[in-house]
Amino acid sequence: MSRPVRFQTLLRDPTSAARRGRLITPHGTVETPAFMPVGTQATVKGITPDHLAASGTVMLLANTYHLALRPGEDVVARMGGLHGFMGWDGPILTDSGGFQVFSLAARSRLSEGGVAFRSHIDGRLLELTPERAIAIQEALGADITMCLDHCPALPATKEAVADAVGRTVHWAGRCRDAHTRPDQALFGIVQGGHHADLRAECAEALIKLDFDGFAVGGVSVGESREQVREALAVTTHHLPEDRPRYLMGVGRPRDILDAVATGIDLFDCVLPTRNGRNATCLTDRGLVKLRNASHRLDPGPIEDGCPCLACCNFSRAYLRHLFLAKEMLGPILASIHNVTYLHRLTRRIRQAITEGRFVPLRAEVLEALGP
């Protein structure tokens, strides 16, 4: 069967489960492991498409729930789909709205049929069933779409997590049946909390539905770092080698390294732009807080050797001034730097896998980052 996206495993690290791959989509090829900036409302906050491309971005993510509310998927479709609407010609992945079941629990009502939200904008009702989630994503026109899933809030009893797994698998079947666009891939999402047996059960059930790829959901929502690593190792062990693996909502450097070690290929997170808006920058030596008085007369860049727009042109002293003066250029430049940093990190990871030295690289990066 011809698939709208194809995944090729190019190399495997000899001493871990890390792998280097290639994801081929209708709008371009993505070398993996790769990080995807989040463009929730058809924009990565504060960064133009040209600056995204210059930062090393190849693929990004947009949000089904938010775009269905505003401007509406019909508007996006009439304006040429997400690619034409936001001026981005590279691959795009849309989430299903499933994370909002978790993050907007106070505004939602869950049932076996789906989930009903009260809009955070105007209070109107949005009913998101598996079929509706697929219809919205088909109108948005992303290269990769996601099944609607149930991500339970933690702490939760094992019974509650098992209930969410059953609902996730049931909804995944309905999503697959509703999916009609041959040029869009559809990924299933593995839930199960930190319970190895539930993760395995969910993965095996989704594999039988033969999705184009698989995402790992329900991590970094309250578990310890060790529980997250165990959940990833269990999940990827059960997933097929010939399909891409996507870890949802993870962007801290140490978490990316942990996940790559278990065989994850794709990541997304709001962290680089959210940190950037708050004057916090990612570097090989840890976080740099640009508002700190120590940068008042600092002529150096955020990080030596970084090729981003901020580091090539501006000092820490100037960037600190922008934030203290509440000038919008400060968050823009810091966000560009952070996105560039994560792409630099994933390029280093890919090169290390190629050279068979991912494990030493991981240790080196973690040591430099510090506690």
For the record, the structure tokens of 89 come out as: 């010609």
Q: Is 28 helix (H, G, I), strand (E, B) or coil?
A: strand
Cα separation, 321 vs 319, whole angstroms: 5
Q: Residue 145's closest CA among 117, 192, 104, 186?
A: 186
The residue from 13, 95, 143, 149 that is catalytic is 95
Cα separation, 260 vs 256, whole angstroms: 6
Gyration radius (Cα) of the chain, Å? 20
- In the numeric block, the tokens 């081929």 are attached to 24
Cα separation, 250 vs 348, whole angstroms: 18
- In the numeric block, the tokens 């960064």 are attached to 47
Residue 86 CB-half CA count within 13 A? 29
Residues 6+ positions from 86 with CB-CB distance below 8 Å? 39, 42, 43, 49, 62
First to last CA, the chain: 47
The residue from 122, 265, 268, 298 that is catalytic is 268
Cα separation, 243 vs 234, whole angstroms: 16
| Pair 81, 42: CB distance under 8 Å | no
Q: Is position 268 annotated as part of the catalytic site? A: yes
Q: What is the dihedral of CA 176, 180, 186, 190, to 10 degrees?
A: -20
99: left (phi over 0), alpha (psi -120 to 50) or beta: alpha
- Write out the catalytic residue numbers: 95, 268
